[in-house]
A and B are shown apart, each in its own frame.
Chain A
Amino acid sequence: MHCPILLADMNAFYASVHQTMDPALRGKPVIVGGDPAKRHGIVLAASYEAKAFGVKTGMAVWEARELCPHGIFLKPAHGHYINFSARIVKIMKDFSPMVEPFSIDEAFMDVSGCDQLFGSSVDIALKLKARVKKEVGVLCSVGIGPNKLLAKMASGMQKPDGLTLMDFPDVPAKMWPLPVRELFGVGFRMEKRLRDLNIHTIRDLARYPLSVLQKRFGLVGHVLHLSANGIDYSPVDPHSLDRVKSIGHQITLPRDYRGYSEIKVVILELSEIVCRRVRLGGYVGRTVRLALKDADFLWMSRARTLAFPTAFAGDVCRAAVELLYRHWPAWKPVRMVGVSLAGLVKSTAEQVDLLGEDERNRRLYAACDRVKDRFGEQSLLRAVSLTPDGILRDRGR
């Protein structure tokens, strides 16, 4: 059977990047996590040396410290991870233009028709692994399959530095004995619902009557059934990132904010960040979404569509604050705030307003953008960022 789809998955990516940049960290238990003082106290990645002590991604940093007291705890350096990731994608594009980045440490590649140039998909996977190790310095596991789903499932079977090929005949032996939660697309909520149907393994799901799954879950039930049988018709889409649907930013606050006046400061700052990104992409958007999380980790997310598309922080902030007043009681503490702008379109033409207010705004934001382009994002801040409730000033330090 023809297996042209590869998934390259970097092993303990964040920790590996630190170990590559600083040879003194190699072979040592490296744990990348947020700053508990700023309430970002989660382990984002752990090297395999740290994993040997039981440290896992997503665990609290204090818990990791207990398991691995002599571990080297580092703060995340997202700029470096992005640079490493871009370099890896660039290497993949040397083999085939059909590359679809899936996350910062994973990308799919379709090598159909590349065998005359680079050999079989296994040869390509070996060459890719060698080049990533030599040129970037991190290890990766590669899964190979006839479709994206099997490539994804295969990549997780052998870590670190693995190479696994999973074809259709391998599905009953390699995939079916796994718990249903391991199937791509099954989250913890779906796992619970499947457990109610007495489905515990991927085999159970594959053998479950399709009609019942469809009746219960609709189209998703059909997809789950096909996935459990190793069937996936999704294409590797190299243009998947060209389409931007929304741009947003969210932040966990250093303390619980109470009262509208405190939260409004953060909303304005987030609106600035979001609109700057929207303008950099040459977009305008209409749908403003505000997401808030309270001290008990309960979510609220509400959206409002504006009468006109915009890329100005003032407009987005006004709409988000309106959503805040309408849907969030003033007494309720806020742990996390997110603002996003959706319904994006290219800002090729715009409605001219009679009073010239938009034109003034456009010129003002264009001037601010020029300053930031030249001197960096921290060069120009809103005055509210200098108040005790502001978050952007501290982030720049």
Chain B
Amino acid sequence: MANIRDYYRKNFLYEGHRLMLPELRDKVVHTCSRCKFFVWVQGRAGVRPGCAALIPRYASLAGRVPEELGVTDVLKEVGKDGLRRVLAGAEPCGQACGLFHPRSPGGD
């Protein structure tokens, strides 16, 4: 620590007192698209981002979360209202939500 300017610039006063749980750090640092539950939902007219954590089959980790899901598969699993929730649940550039689970570095 060279001088008082560095002390403040490097935020030492707060860094030393910060208490952060790794799981919370993950949720705060990462974006939604870094989550293992983030999927692309393929429809007839286009592809939209979705959240697989809102599909019970994937939320329970019973099935591997694929990169892309067909809209008919989602409809079969959760119905029309569920599909709406799945599509509304993803925000690729937004902060990760409480359901965030980091994608493993090598992919799932």
Residues of A participating in the B interface, judged by any CB pair closer than 8 Å: 78-79, 82-87, 89-90, 93, 100-104, 148-149, 184-185, 219, 222-223, 227, 232-235, 237, 240-242, 244, 247, 277, 279-282, 347, 366, 369-370, 373-376
Using Cβ atoms and an 8 Å threshold, which residues of chain B touch A369? Answer: 104, 106
**B window 91-108: CB within 8 A of A:** 94-100, 102, 104-106, 108
- Evaluate contact between B97 and A223: CB separation under 8 angstroms: no
Chain B interface, >50% SS class? loop
How far in angstroms is the closest Cβ of chain B from A110? 13
- Evaluate contact between B95 and A89: CB separation under 8 angstroms: yes
- Evaluate contact between A102 and B14: CB separation under 8 angstroms: yes
How far in angstroms is the closest Cβ of chain A from B58? 10
Using Cβ atoms and an 8 Å threshold, which residues of chain B touch A184? Answer: 13, 17
- Evaluate contact between B98 and A223: CB separation under 8 angstroms: no
Residue of B nearest to A242 (CB): B29
Residue of A nearest to B14 (CB): A234
Give the interface segment out of B4-12, B38-46, B71-79, B80-88.
Answer: B4-12
Residue of B nearest to A90 (CB): B95
A374 to B59 CA separation, bound complex (whole angstroms): 10
- The size bracket of the interface on B is 35 or more
| 10 shortest interchain CB distances as A-B pairs | A83-B98, A233-B8, A86-B27, A103-B19, A282-B105, A82-B24, A373-B104, A90-B95, A86-B98, A241-B25
Interface residue from A84, A87, A232, A375 paired with B13 (Cβ < 8 Å): A232
Using Cβ atoms and an 8 Å threshold, which residues of chain B touch A84? Answer: 98
Interface residue from B1, B97, B102 paired with A219 (Cβ < 8 Å): B1
Using Cβ atoms and an 8 Å threshold, which residues of chain B touch A281? Answer: 102
Using Cβ atoms and an 8 Å threshold, which residues of chain A touch B1? Answer: 219
A163 to B22 CA separation, bound complex (whole angstroms): 30
- Evaluate contact between A241 and B36: CB separation under 8 angstroms: no
Chain A interface, >50% SS class? helix
A184 to B102 CA separation, bound complex (whole angstroms): 34
A282 to B23 CA separation, bound complex (whole angstroms): 15
- Evaluate contact between A101 and B14: CB separation under 8 angstroms: no
- Evaluate contact between B11 and A103: CB separation under 8 angstroms: no
How far in angstroms is the closest Cβ of chain B from A316? 16
- A to B CB contacts below 8 Å, 9 in the list: A86-B24, A101-B25, A102-B19, A219-B1, A235-B8, A235-B11, A240-B11, A279-B105, A282-B105
- Evaluate contact between A235 and B20: CB separation under 8 angstroms: no
- Evaluate contact between A280 and B104: CB separation under 8 angstroms: yes
Using Cβ atoms and an 8 Å threshold, which residues of chain B touch A244? Answer: 25
How far in angstroms is the closest Cβ of chain A from B91? 10
- Evaluate contact between A87 and B97: CB separation under 8 angstroms: yes
How far in angstroms is the closest Cβ of chain B from A219? 6
Residue of B nearest to A108 (CB): B14
Interface residue from B13, B29, B104, B108 paired with A234 (Cβ < 8 Å): B13
Residue of B nearest to A92 (CB): B95
- Evaluate contact between A86 and B96: CB separation under 8 angstroms: yes
- Evaluate contact between B20 and A241: CB separation under 8 angstroms: yes
Using Cβ atoms and an 8 Å threshold, which residues of chain A touch B15? Answer: 240
A87 to B98 CA separation, bound complex (whole angstroms): 7
A241 to B99 CA separation, bound complex (whole angstroms): 19
A374 to B91 CA separation, bound complex (whole angstroms): 23
Q: A82-B27, A373-B36, A373-B108 are in contact. Are A148 and B97 (CB under 8 A)?
A: no
Q: Does residue B48 face the partner (Cβ distance < 8 Å to A)? A: no
Using Cβ atoms and an 8 Å threshold, which residues of chain A touch B23? Answer: 78-79, 82
Using Cβ atoms and an 8 Å threshold, which residues of chain B touch A149? Answer: 13
A42 to B90 CA separation, bound complex (whole angstroms): 39
- Evaluate contact between B108 and A374: CB separation under 8 angstroms: yes
Using Cβ atoms and an 8 Å threshold, which residues of chain A touch B8? Answer: 232-235
Q: A222-B4, A242-B29 are in contact. Are A101 and B24 (CB under 8 A)?
A: yes
Using Cβ atoms and an 8 Å threshold, which residues of chain A touch B19? Answer: 102-104
Interface residue from A79, A83, A223 paired with B4 (Cβ < 8 Å): A223
How far in angstroms is the closest Cβ of chain B from A44? 12
